[in-house]
């Protein structure tokens, strides 16, 4: 693996979202897609193993939800960059709770390639 690549871990139980990430990041060789993890528990294991530059994290998943995963990641690595990917429509209460827990940004589903790449570049550069 090229040492200059930025590692992006995707934690999302949606196969469609995971395929979208694979397609988009596949067009951007400067990023290395880690995982994907389809549960919060799997995501935390991969996070500890890979220490990625960015975590793209779903909110609603079976088992550990996004907020619990975010808090765990923050405990493991307070400087970690975590982009919340959510179809919740960005309700103010939800957004506030994630920002208070240390989210680096929030991207609403469905998203397009431009919105995703803009967020990734803003958080970890290219």
Mean pLDDT by 10 residues, the chain (126 residues): 82 92 94 92 97 95 92 96 82 82 91 94 93
pLDDT recorded at residue 2: 53
Q: What is the pLDDT of residue 89?
A: 56
pLDDT of 56 reads 97
The pLDDT of residue 3 is 58
Residue 108 tokens read as 């609403």
Compute the distance between CA of residue 16 and CA of residue 50 in angstroms, rounded to an integer: 23
Asked if 110 contacts 87 with a C-beta cutoff of 8 angstroms, the reply is: yes
């Amino acid at each position: 693996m090229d040492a200059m690549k930025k590692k992006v871990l995707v934690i999302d139980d949606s196969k469609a979202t995971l395929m979208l990430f694979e397609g988009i990041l596949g067009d951007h060789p400067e990023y290395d897609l880690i995982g994907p993890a389809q549960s919060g528990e799997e995501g935390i294991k991969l996070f500890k193993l890979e220490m990625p530059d960015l975590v793209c994290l779903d909110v609603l998943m079976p088992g550990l939800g996004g907020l619990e995963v975010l808090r765990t990641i923050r405990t493991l690595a307070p400087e970690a960059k975590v982009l919340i990917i959510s179809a919740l429509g960005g309700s103010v209460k939800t957004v506030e709770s994630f920002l208070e827990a240390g989210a680096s940004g929030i991207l609403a589903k469905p998203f397009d390639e431009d919105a995703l790449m803009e967020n990734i570049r803003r958080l970890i550069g290219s």
